[in-house]
């Protein structure tokens, strides 16, 4: 990381150093909450007796409700008038949505409607922060160090996810099969609550964006989306992404139930398999980024698309822990290639000033694809049953659908063969939600500026600190 003396336009180096420390701590605390709390939703539903199908839908249906609610983000930002207050406030709401789960875990019966309601609040508040945070963060981190800083922070977030999963796995394993199993879920959700509450307090202590930045976030209109939708490659990539998302979510939401109920795995083994997919990204993403820059995103997309196609059907080869652990580690690298390539292709087609707004709309479309896939998977399990034949059928259906998406990938390749990044920039991915057995939901943070143009572009951080010249740090 460069020293602040190397950052052009920075007048308050102490403020930047403080914001950087707060950003790091907030990212780690948020990741602990996600790894310890969110990844346990489906397992909690199973332990509470909701059944394998209903518990699987707990991972998807509330996501769609949350994605609909987050469409109000631009309106809310204009009313609040501050990116910092909006992000920190929604983070506090997300933390509070975990507290009732602590109380429910101590009850003999947990109503399904209550779990779905709380999960919907959790997702609505969480998704509402994503595009606003993406806009806010670029005003805190100066452009010359942005790429390196976000690469560093992404690794810290991934480590926080692994730490949260480890804590959750150990706590739940202690209560596995005993009379206090649900009470251990209360302990896990309490840890997640405190982690997100700390994250919210850290967000409030960071510097706010310059006045007026909240108005840059809006839902894209038909006029602003028209160039992207007219572009053959952009439209094909979007359709391909949604098709892949739908196909993998046929089985993804039921992977937890498959491991816990069908293979009789313990919670520690479950979290280890989830965590190895995240660890795979930590290991491979730097090399993947270099490969994308050297060979282009289309070739990288083929590598990822071919790697993830047989993943679900390979779950049927063996139910041994170490086999599934190694398989998920390898598949995690394939998902990292796929996620990096698709975001590079899509976001290189969209103007920089529209990216945060398009992200809001894409969250909504992606949530529809996730729920559609999970409902198809639920139908398969309802018709065939939740035994060995049901899961074999489920994994066969998702495998066949993934093969079909390869034909769409071929169309993407023809439309964008030889494509390179328009700006030659780089991108960091922050995982918003690790999805077991499927692609995670990520927040792309692109540093794709043209260096010659950047030299003459006003720096928002410099504009903010100019007003603070002479103030004590």
pLDDT at residue 79, as a whole number? 86
pLDDT of residue 424: 45
- pLDDT score at 73: 81
**Rounded to 5°, angle at Cα 396 from 394 and 400:** 120
CA dihedral defined by 387, 393, 397, 403, rounded to 10 degrees?
Answer: 120
Q: Which residues of 301-311 are buried (b: 16+ CB within 10 A; e: fewer)?
A: bbbbbebbbeb
Q: For residue 355, what pLDDT band results from cuts at 50, 70 and 90?
A: low
pLDDT category, 448, cuts 50, 70, 90?
A: very low
Per-residue pLDDT tens digits for 168-195: 999 999 888 777 788 899 999 999 999 9
Q: Looking at per-residue confidence, does 25 or 463 come out higher?
A: 25
How many Å separate Cα 383 from the centre of its chain?
31
Side-chain half-sphere exposure of 442, counting CA atoms within 13 A: 26
Residue bearing the bigger pLDDT, 322 or 424: 322
Q: Taking a C-beta distance cutoff of 8 angstroms, is the pair 205, 87 a contact?
A: no
- How confident is the model over 91-104, as a mean pLDDT? 94
CA distance 257 to 53: 8
| Confidence class for position 431, pLDDT limits 50, 70, 90 | low
> pLDDT value at position 439?
60
Q: Worst-scoring range by mean pLDDT, 29-38, 83-92, 161-170, 340-349? A: 340-349
Residue 266: phi and psi, rounded to 5, are -85, 165
Average pLDDT on 28-47 reads 93
**pLDDT mean over 13-41:** 87
Rounded CA-CA distance 137/394 in Å is 41
DSSP string, 48-108: TT--HHHHHHTTTHHHHHHHHHGGGHHHHHHHH--HHHHHHHHHHHHHHTTHHHHHHTTSS
Mean pLDDT of 9-26: 72
The pLDDT assigned to 7 comes to 36
Residues 323-348: pLDDT tens digits? Answer: 999 999 999 999 989 988 887 877 66
Instruction: Return the DSSP state at 444.
Output: E
Q: Which residues pair with 447 in a beta bridge?
A: 426
Q: Are the C-beta atoms of residues 200 and 33 closer than 8 Å to each other?
A: no
Residue 432 is predicted with a pLDDT of 63
Q: Which of 137-146, 363-372, 426-435 is predicted with the least confidence, judged by mean pLDDT?
A: 426-435
Domains defined for the chain, CATH in brackets? 13-215+224-456 (1.20.1250.20)
Residue with tokens 């995690």: 332
Per DSSP, the three-state class of 418 is: coil
Q: At what angle do helices 297-308 and 388-415 cross, to 10 degrees?
A: 160
How confident is the model over 216-260, as pLDDT tens digits? 666 666 665 665 555 555 678 788 889 999 999 999 999 999 999
Position 472 confidence tier, pLDDT thresholds 50, 70, 90: very low
pLDDT at 143 over 80: no
């Amino acid at each position: 990381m460069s020293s602040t003396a190397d950052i052009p336009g920075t007048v308050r180096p102490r403020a930047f150093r403080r914001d950087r420390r707060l950003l790091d701590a907030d990212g780690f605390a948020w990741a602990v909450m996600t790894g310890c709390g969110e990844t346990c939703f489906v397992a909690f539903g199973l332990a509470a007796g909701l059944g394998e199908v209903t518990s699987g839908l707990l991972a998807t249906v509330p996501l769609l409700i949350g994605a609909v609610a987050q469409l109000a983000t631009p309106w809310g930002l204009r009313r609040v008038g501050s990116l910092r207050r909006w992000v920190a406030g929604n983070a506090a709401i997300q933390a509070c949505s975990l507290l009732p789960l602590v109380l429910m875990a101590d009850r003999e019966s947990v109503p399904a409607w209550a779990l779905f309601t709380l999960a919907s609040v959790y997702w609505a508040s969480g998704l509402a922060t994503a595009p606003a945070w993406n806009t806010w963060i670029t005003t805190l981190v100066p452009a010359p160090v942005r790429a390196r800083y976000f690469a560093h922070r992404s690794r810290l977030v991934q480590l926080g996810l692994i730490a949260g999963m480890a804590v959750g796995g150990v706590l739940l394993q202690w209560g596995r099969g005993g009379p206090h199993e649900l009470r251990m879920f209360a302990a896990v959700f309490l840890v997640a609550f405190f982690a997100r509450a700390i994250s919210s307090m850290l967000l409030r202590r960071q510097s706010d964006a310059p006045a007026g930045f909240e108005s840059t976030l809006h839902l894209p209109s038909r006029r602003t989306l028209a160039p992207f939708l007219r572009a053959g490659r952009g439209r094909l990539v979007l359709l391909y992404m949604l098709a892949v998302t739908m196909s993998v979510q046929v089985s993804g939401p039921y992977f937890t139930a498959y491991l816990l109920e069908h293979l009789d795995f313990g919670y520690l083994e479950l979290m280890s398999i989830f965590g190895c997919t995240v660890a795979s990204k930590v290991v491979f993403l730097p090399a993947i980024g270099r490969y994308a820059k050297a060979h282009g995103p289309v070739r990288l997309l083929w590598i990822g698309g071919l790697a993830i196609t047989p993943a679900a059907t390979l779950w049927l080869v063996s139910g041994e822990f170490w086999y599934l652990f190694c398989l998920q580690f390898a598949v995690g690298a394939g998902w990292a290639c796929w996620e990096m390539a698709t975001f590079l292709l899509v976001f290189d087609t969209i103007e920089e000033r529209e990216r945060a707004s398009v992200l809001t709309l894409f969250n909504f479309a992606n949530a529809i694809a996730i729920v559609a896939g999970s409902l198809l998977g639920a139908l398969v399990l309802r018709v065939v049953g939740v035994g060995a034949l049901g899961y074999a059928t489920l994994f066969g259906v998702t495998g066949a659908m993934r093969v079909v998406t390869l034909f769409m990938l071929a169309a993407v390749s023809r439309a964008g063969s030889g494509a390179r990044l328009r700006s030659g920039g780089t991108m960091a991915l922050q995982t918003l939600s690790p999805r077991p057995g499927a692609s995670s939901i990520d927040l792309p943070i692109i540093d794709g500026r043209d260096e010659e143009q950047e030299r003459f572009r006003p720096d928002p951080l410099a504009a903010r600190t100019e007003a603070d010249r002479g103030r004590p740090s």
